[in-house]
Amino acid sequence: MTRIVVGIAVASAAVACAAAAYVVSRRIRSRKHWNRTLGILQEFQSESATSLFRLRQVVDAMTVEMHAGLASEGGSKLKMLLSYVDNLPTGDEEGLYYALDLGGTNFRVLRVQLGGREGRVLRQEYEEVPIPSQLMVGSNEDLFDYIALELSRFVESEGDGYHPKSGQERELGFTFSFPVKQTSVDSGYLIKWTKGFAISDGVGKDVVQSLHDAMKRQGLDMRVAALVNDTVGTLAGARYWNEDVMVAVILGTGTNACYVERAEAITKYQGESPKSGSMVINMEWGNFWSSHLPKTTYDEDLDGESLNPGEQGFEKMISGMYLGDIVRRVLLRMAQESFLFGGEVPTNLYKPFVLRTPDISTMHQDETADLREVARILKSVLGIVNTPLKVRKIVVELCDLVAERGARLASAGIVGILKKIGRDGSTTGGRLKGDQGKGRRTMVAMDGGLYEHYPKFRKYLQETVANLLGEEMAANVTVELSKDGSGIGAALLAASHSQYLNA
Ligand code: GLC
């Protein structure tokens, strides 16, 4: 009997030991996994770090590339495209103008009745229409037919209070937010599609001609008076209200900037002298590249698997289309190598672009003590349930790193432009005639969903611009949201380039 009791005691002690050993080994294993998670995070943090020193190198690289892109065609990855916009709206514009704004997942049609200096914008109306996803990967003709159809519907709904001058054709400003090599203010051909548009043709075609042809098929009679990039539209829209606007930046699905440049600095420009001695340059900064940019292996993979490998490198580190996917890629690695979400890798984590930038913005800005919003998005978007708080914290940390890097790089780009035009306090060159530089107020007009809807991104950007400029100069520079300026800006440019202007 005693022997049996002893036997049982020994056996249960052995089971207890084995169980304890199992728990200990699991703990050690999970501690090891957890350390691995932290290791992946730290590695990402150091590879993507944007010290002020590094950002200053980016500022300088941006300035150097701007010079090179202005000097000759193909002189830089920065295309520095001529907009042929040499007379920005002044406030005196009058009459009815339309605008069409294409370049993201939605497009907009807009009409505005302008009342001159006193009346300004008497009334305006717009409609926003989503672009069916199949049209983003279809043919050029189908895309333009769809747009022209929506435009002609909108024109038909023109009501009281909107009136073209008698005997005058309606005029339109066309915001087309892709790289276009312009041949005049109202013509230009597409260089390439960006931002996930993979239209089978269209590259090399005259954008205005494509629109005119489609309008003709719809029986719509209208003249395209100005073809502009969204940055140029934003600059014009903001300039209408404030003369200090010199730069416009889009931070949305894609990213880009334009600014007002002295005509003589544009060596590759061989047209007649611009009317005002200056011209707006569409930089297409999304394609900027410099060895100083903190590129990680995740960026390399994202680029390699994208629709446009080797292109839009700056855009892929900064803009709304990509930030969510960078976070997803790091989480996937954590799931694979350190079992962050348990033994199996959640299948949704393998899906490109499943985690969108609005999701990371929501998670990043989750103020609840138990990070409930993070848990909700992990569950609804990635199918990951029951995440411990410490895992949610890692996710927030990662969103922070990705957003911070993007915002700080965009800031360096902005300061690079300010430096080029002598508005950063560091140089005396590059200024427009009569411009005192130092002490002169400069406004940077911003637009795009990333900037508008992601407060932490916005905060990082504003702080970094101020840090890079230094207190004294920062006091002269304002970075301001100029919401939906690009549509109305195109209408204003149609007005300032109207065929009836001198009549
Ligand atoms: C992409 C386009 C560019 C546009 C920007 C913002 O970078 O190439 O033309 O301005 O997105 O929409």
pLDDT confidence bin for 1, thresholds 50/70/90 = very low
How far, in Å, from the CA of 135 to the mean position of ligand 1? 18
Whether 108 is catalytic is yes
Q: What is the model's pLDDT at position 425?
A: 82
- The more confidently predicted of residues 191 and 29 is 191
Strand bridging mode 278-282 / 81-82: antiparallel
For 386-411, what is the mean pLDDT?
98
- Report d(CA 421, CA 432) in Å as an integer: 8
- Report d(CA 235, CA 489) in Å as an integer: 7
Spans of all domains in the chain? 39-82+242-483, 84-228
- CATH, domain 39-82+242-483, list 3.40.50.970, 3.40.50.980, 3.40.367.20, 1.10.760.10: 3.40.367.20
Q: Is 175 in the pocket of ligand 1 (CB under 6 A)?
A: no
Strand bridging mode 187-190 / 255-262: unpaired
The torsion angles phi and psi of 371, rounded to 5 degrees, stand at 50, 55
Q: What is the pTM of this model?
A: 0.92
For 462-469, what is the mean pLDDT?
98
Residue 245, token pair as written in the block? 């606007």
pLDDT confidence bin for 23, thresholds 50/70/90 = low
- Report d(CA 104, CA 116) in Å as an integer: 31
Q: Is 83 in the pocket of ligand 1 (CB under 6 A)?
A: no
Residue 13 has pLDDT above 90, yes or no: no
pLDDT confidence bin for 24, thresholds 50/70/90 = low
How far, in Å, from the CA of 467 to the mean position of ligand 1? 27
**Catalytic residue (choose from 76, 152, 177, 486):** 177
Question: Cα-atom radius of gyration of the chain, to the nearest Å?
Answer: 27
Instruction: Indicate the class that CATH gives domain 84-228.
Output: alpha beta
- Report d(CA 158, CA 458) in Å as an integer: 37
Q: What is the model's pLDDT at position 18?
A: 60
Q: Which tens digit of pLDDT belongs to each residue from 41-59?
A: 999 999 999 999 999 999 9
Q: Is 250 in the pocket of ligand 1 (CB under 6 A)?
A: yes
- Report d(CA 278, CA 73) in Å as an integer: 19
How far, in Å, from the CA of 256 to the mean position of ligand 1? 5
What is the percent of the chain with per-residue pLDDT over 90, rounded to a whole number?
A: 83
Please, are residues 140 and 210 in contact by the beta-carbon 8 Å criterion? yes
Helix, strand, coil percentages (3-state) for the chain, rounded to 5, are 50, 15, 35
Please, are residues 148 and 470 in contact by the beta-carbon 8 Å criterion? no
Q: What is the model's pLDDT at position 433?
A: 65
Q: Specify the residue with its C-alpha closest to ligand 1, atom 4.
A: 177
How far, in Å, from the CA of 21 to the mean position of ligand 1? 58
The torsion angles phi and psi of 13, rounded to 5 degrees, stand at -65, -40
Whether 26 is catalytic is no
Q: How far is CA 485 from CA 111, 130, 158, 491, 496, in A?
A: 13, 19, 21, 10, 16
pLDDT confidence bin for 22, thresholds 50/70/90 = low
Q: What is the model's pLDDT at position 3?
A: 53
For 416-427, what is the mean pLDDT?
90
- Count other C-beta atoms under 10 Å from residue 94's C-beta: 15
